[in-house]
Amino acid sequence: MVTEPASQLLAQVLQITVDVAKDTNLTTARQLLAAKLAALFRADRVLLVATTGKAKLIASDSYTGRPPANAYSDELLMTAAKMKAQADGDSCFEQQNLWLALGAGQALLLQRPAANPWQAAELQLLKQVAPALAASIRPSRESRQWRQRRWAILALVLAALMLPVPDTVVAPALVESQQADQVYAPLSGVVETLLVKPGATVEVGDLLLRYQQRDWQQQRRQALREQQLAEAELERLSAAAWQDSQARAAMPAQQLRIEQATQQLSYLETLLADTEVRAEQAGTLLLDDAQELSGALVQAGELLFTVADAEQLRLKLNVSVADFGKLAPGGTLHFRTDAAPFKRWSATLSHLGAEVQLSEQQQPSIVAMASFAEPSEVALRLGERGTARIDAGWTLLGIKVFRKPWQQLRRVLPF
């Protein structure tokens, strides 16, 4: 029969379980239970121990959360292991230590000084309230339901990652002409003026650019004067040759001088003709900076500008090296310009390059070409930039999501 003091102690323990159960935070609830039991039973320390497998400290009356690992906690774990083995699944006590099994893989270890040893009645009382103590620090039903939902959500996510989805490759693209004539400097010299504005339409034979001609014109006048003087000297020698043997002997050399002067004059006239650059095909003149070209010193063979057929368009794509292996000629793509992102044009991959080079974004890439079904009917302008989405078959959603992060990770892994 329980005495009155024992009844009061039982009521106090049950009140502790009620107070602890109100705490929705499991970590602080465990610490609160240990602290209140330590105060009620005048214990030096109260520990909550995980009994599944090797004993582990879960909570203490002195710490919020798991006690730190040190020599002191190691000593406590040794005591807990000894009491666990002694109890053999039940509760037990000795002079300074009381082991209370709570079930669900948990137990309480209460320690007192030697001057205040544990009594069998206290163990019996604690065993009566052990289910209530265990319930007060057991995860709530909502927490268990959330764990169940979490596993269900995880299963759904894993299932979703296994779904087949369309695979696409995104690449920056540039609108260019299928027929483009790159115009190079025919000779070294200073550009006097660019006669056509960039973006203007030109026809075959139109004058596009003129060099400064003053030096060459002066050299031509000098060469023409030397030719005329040489011809006059040859006439004089011819007139004197019938009676002057020296004049007859000088005539072949003079004839050679005339030929040399004639060749020099012809060469200078060719140079003068090259100082005027004309269009060799009809199209649109493409040039980034017209002001930079006017007055510039150019070298023979240097690219001046491009004349492109604006009605025969295609796309130039810079495909990432990591995605290039998924493409094949004949694949379809959709192109949107930066200026009109809500309108798209369809095209077909017509050519895949083989040389790796850096794109404008300084990324290793390979050039690919795409053609429109009706190039002359595409309402695009030369030089427009945008983004192409290329169809690359089907893949698993998980591979599509994690492929690029995995590629980035492989670059930094040491193996």
133 shares a domain with 33: yes
Q: What is the count of structural domains for the chain?
A: 4
43 and 81, same domain (yes or no): yes
Residue 220 and residue 101 in one domain: no
Residue 23 lies in a domain: yes
Chain position carrying tokens 């698993």: 396
pLDDT for residue 318: 92
Q: Are 386 and 367 part of one and the same domain?
A: yes
In this structure, the answer to whether residues 295 and 373 fall within a common structural domain is no
Does residue 161 lie in a domain region? Answer: no
Strand order in the sheet with 180-184: 180-184, 303-308, 283-286, 201-202
pLDDT at position 376: 60
Looking at the fold, whether 134 and 8 belong to one and the same domain comes out as: yes
What is the pLDDT, as a whole number, of residue 206? 93
Tokens standing for residue 92: 């037990």
Closest CA to 15 of 33, 38, 41, 42: 33
Dist. CA 11–CA 22, nearest whole Å: 17
pLDDT of residue 3: 45
Distance in angstroms (rounded) separating the CA atoms of residues 97 and 82 = 10
Place of tokens 């030109």: 202
What CATH number did the domain enclosing 322 receive? 2.40.30.170
CATH number (domain holding residue 287): 2.40.50.100
Distance CA 191, CA 196 (A): 13
* pLDDT, tens only, 22-54: 887 888 888 899 999 999 999 989 999 988 888
In-domain check, residue 156: no
Range of the domain at 353: 171-177+309-412
Q: What is the pTM of this model?
A: 0.51
Residues 100, 34, single domain; the answer is yes
Same domain assignment for residues 257 and 227: yes
Q: Are residues 45 and 101 in the same domain?
A: yes
Specify the pLDDT at position 2.
Answer: 42
Q: What is the pLDDT of residue 178?
A: 87
Q: Quick check: is 255 in a domain? A: yes
Residue 130, domain member (yes or no) = yes
Whether 160 is in a domain gets the answer no
Whether residues 284 and 375 share a domain: the answer is no
Q: What's residue 225's pLDDT?
A: 94
The CATH number linked to 122 is: 3.30.450.270
Residue ranges for the chain with pLDDT beneath 50: 1-4, 141-142
Is residue 265 domain-shared with residue 359, that is, in the same domain? no
Q: Is 165 within the bounds of a domain?
A: no
**Do 290 and 330 share a domain, yes or no?**
no
- Rounded to an integer, what distance in angstroms lies between the CA atom of residue 153 and that of residue 325? 34
pLDDT at 46: 92
Rounded CA-CA distance 121/111 in Å is: 16
In a domain, 127, yes or no: yes
